[in-house]
Amino acid sequence: MKYIKNYIAGELQAPTLNQHIDNVDPSRGVVYSQIPDSSAEDVEKAVESAEKAFPGWSNTPKDERAAIMIKIADIIESRLKEFAEAESLDNGKPVSLASHVDIPRAVSNLKFFATAIQHFAAESHYMEGVGVNYTTRKPIGIVGCISPWNLPLYLFTWKIAPALAAGNCVIAKPSEITPMTAFMLSEVCAEAGLPAGVLNIIHGLGHKVGDAMTRHPKIKAISFTGGTNTGATIAKIAAPMFKKLSLELGGKNPNIIFADCDFDKALSTTVRSSFANQGQICLCGSRIFIERPIYEKFKEAFVAKVAKSKVSYPSDPEAKLGAVVSKPHMEKVLSYVDLAVEEGGTVLTGGTQVKLDGEYSEGFYIRPTIIEGLAYDCRTNQEEIFGPVVTITPFDTIDEVLMMANSTEYGLASTVWTENLNTAHSVADRIHAGIVWVNSWLVRDLRTPFGGVKNSGVGREGGFEALRFFTEPKNIFIKS
Ligand code: TXE
């Protein structure tokens, strides 16, 4: 049994109260490691070490900070296979996905922000005959990063990389459901020469560690990705303390497919945007609206393709879908299939658990599921399911599809499929979402603003937006 440790003051440490939580391999349904059930005392220790480290780290020249971050990235890259296998074991995702997406992206996040900080500049505002304003942007101090289980190291590094590059000291909490690669990262940081206390990784439960971080008066900003309800809890605590907050929350993303689209591209990308990572990506499209003239043709082709998608154990190179992250999550997702049927939907394919053989027989596998015949405003079409379940709905006009697409409380991402430039522009303009992909999905340029509107969050990550979040501007005026 492997025991994961906290990373505080540059050292791997057991939690103060020496209590642990089981960590389950979702592909087999068995406990395979123990993680610290840390408490407020551990957060306190981390804050003390970050406080000691801050003057040194914030005054370290940018290029030296960047060099250490690039070294961390290089070490992860040199151990890519090991990291990918660990991510897959912890999360249930296919090893091929972790090898091609999760771990390479974690490496890119570190390299991107290590270089971005060297191009980051603040403004100056000249006032004719009066003087000049110049703005400095200094690190905030100690910041907190809280991340979820769906893309563990990918989202963990997406937060800590800009925070560290900007010169902050970080207290970071990975999801208790997928802690392994964050633990491996702590070993890499020590090897790469990151000074003690600059990054502290505390493992444990959200309502203990995450809550203690949110309440700690010396943690001046919280960057969070996870469920909308958790985001609301964090905001309630942090707002009266005037902490800076970046919240990346849930989604219920629409895919809008017009009759004039490139059919084959729309079809193959929609299979991916529906079921990649078992549908557990906040950017997955879960409500697919298809223009009526191609509805039946698209439906038939989509169902045929999805029914053939192989659900298998993560190391199977043929696996298109692996296990979902946990038993409670599998039960939640399947309960939405029952709800959809109660609401009058028809399951066209999937809708059930998959039982694999042998050592994987207790794993948490769900067949990719397509449902039709539901009203746009029923619960199945309004609530985030976050699993391999999508609905399909026909539409007749642009106004109608926009009304349906914009009807949820969320507004994270969307896709539009059409060969008509005017349609693409006008629909993209009218969708309530932070991100619109036209004739594509999940094409990511790390410089672009990333985040959602409505209950999908507050603030934007990515590029200079993230560096602005993790710095405080100060304007200085000099009279001429
Ligand atoms: O998220 P949580 P969970 C959605 C998805 C999923 C649901 C719940 O719908 O089914 O959220 O997933 C920490 N104070 N998304 O349970 O609970 C927690 O320990 C501070 C969307 O994983 O929000 C973990 O590190 N922190 C999504 C992190 O918050 C707290 C990605 C996320 O956990 C806390 C994942 C508290 N009170 C799930 N409670 C996306 N948009 O990418 C929990 N945490």
> What tens digit of pLDDT does each residue of 14-44 get?
999 999 999 999 999 999 999 999 999 999 9
Whether residue 406 is contained in a domain is answered as yes
Map 404-455 to HEC letters.
HHCCCCCCCEEEEECCCHHHHHHHHHHCCCCEEEECCCCCCCCCCCECCCHH
Residues composing the chain: 480
Which residue do the tokens 């480290």 mark?
Answer: 53
Token pair listed for 358: 């042998």
Instruction: Provide the CB-side half-sphere exposure for 200 (13 A, CA).
Output: 31
pLDDT band for position 1 (50/70/90)?
A: confident
Q: Per the domain annotation, does 140 fall within a domain?
A: yes
Q: Rounded mean pLDDT of 122-144?
A: 97
Please check whether residue 405 lies inside any domain of the structure.
Answer: yes
Q: Of all protein residues, whose CA lies closest to atom 19 belonging to ligand 1? A: 206
Q: Which atom of ligand 1 is nearest to the CA of 248?
A: 41
Give the whole-angstrom CA distance, residue 389 versus residue 383.
Answer: 12
**Which own/partner contact pairs does 14-22 have at CB distance under 8 Å and 24+ positions apart?**
15/39, 15/42, 15/203, 15/204, 16/41, 16/42, 16/45, 17/41, 21/176, 21/204, 21/205
| 282 included as an active-site residue | yes
pLDDT of residue 264: 98
Residue 451 forms part of a structural domain: no
Q: Supply the pLDDT for residue 199.
A: 98
167 lies in the same domain as 311: no
Instruction: Output the pLDDT for position 339.
Output: 98
Q: Are residues 191 and 333 in the same domain?
A: no
For atom 28 of ligand 1, the residue with the nearest CA is 148
Residues 78-103: tens digit of each pLDDT = 999 999 999 999 999 999 999 999 99
For residue 236, what are the domain limits? Answer: 2-249+456-479
Atom of ligand 1 at shortest distance to CA of 213? 20
Query: Distances from the Cα of 29 to the Cαs of 35, 318, 360, 390, in angstroms?
Result: 17, 21, 8, 25
- The answer to whether residues 333 and 244 belong to one domain is no
Q: Is the CB of 461 under 6 A from ligand 1?
A: no
Q: Identify whether residues 245 and 264 lie together within a single domain.
A: no
Same domain flag for 207 and 284:
no
| Residue in 35, 230, 333 to alter for ligand 1 test, most ligand atoms within 8 A of Cβ | 230
Residue 216 domain-assigned (yes or no): yes
Alpha helices in 193-242 (DSSP H): 211-215, 228-238
Whether 459 shows a pLDDT value over 90: the answer reads yes
pLDDT in tens, 270-324: 999 999 999 999 999 999 999 999 999 999 999 999 999 999 999 999 999 999 9
CATH number at residue 257: 3.40.309.10
- Claim to verify: residue 330 and residue 410 sit in the same structural domain: yes
Catalytic residue among 261, 282, 372, 461: 282
Contact between residue 149 and residue 177 where contact means Cβ atoms under 8 Å apart: yes
Ligand 1 contacts CB of residue 206 (under 6 A): yes
pTM: predicted TM-score of the whole model, two decimal places: 0.97
Residue 423 lies in a domain: yes
275 shares its domain with 338:
yes
What CATH number has the domain bearing residue 136?
3.40.605.10
Q: Which residues are CB-neighbours of 400 under 8 A, at least 6 positions away?
A: none
Render pLDDT for 361-420 as a digit per residue (tens, 0 to 9): 999 999 999 999 999 999 999 999 999 999 999 999 999 999 999 999 999 999 999 999
**How many whole angstroms from 281 Cα to the centroid of ligand 1?**
13
Q: Are residues 282 and 430 in the same domain?
A: yes
Predicted confidence band of residue 108 (pLDDT cuts 50, 70, 90):
very high
Answer whether residue 258 is part of any domain: yes
Residues 206 and 272 in one domain: no
Q: How many domains does the chain have?
A: 2
Q: Is the CB of 225 under 6 A from ligand 1?
A: yes
Identify whether residues 78 and 91 lie together within a single domain: yes
Q: Tell whether 164 is covered by a domain.
A: yes
Residue 433: pLDDT band with limits 50, 70, 90: very high
In the residue annotation, 384 being an active-site residue is answered as no
Residue 223 shares a structural domain with residue 306: no
Torsion of CA 335, 340, 342, 348, to 10 degrees: -110
- Give residue 448 CA to ligand 1 midpoint distance, Å: 24
Best residue for ligand 1 mutational test, from 21, 154, 175, 435 (most atoms within 8 Å of Cβ): 175
pLDDT tier for residue 155 given thresholds of 50, 70 and 90: very high
Pocket lining: 210 vs ligand 1, CB cutoff 6 Å: yes
Arithmetic mean of pLDDT over the chain: 98
For ligand 1, whether the C-beta of 228 sits within 6 Å is no
Nearest-atom index, ligand 1, CA of 233: 37
> In angstroms, what CA-CA distances link 4 with 7, 23, 189?
10, 10, 15
pLDDT in tens, 165-193: 999 999 999 999 999 999 999 999 999 99
227 lines ligand 1 (CB under 6 A): yes
8 and 42 belong to one structural domain = yes
Residue 235: DSSP 8-state: H
Q: What is the mean pLDDT of residues 150-167?
A: 98
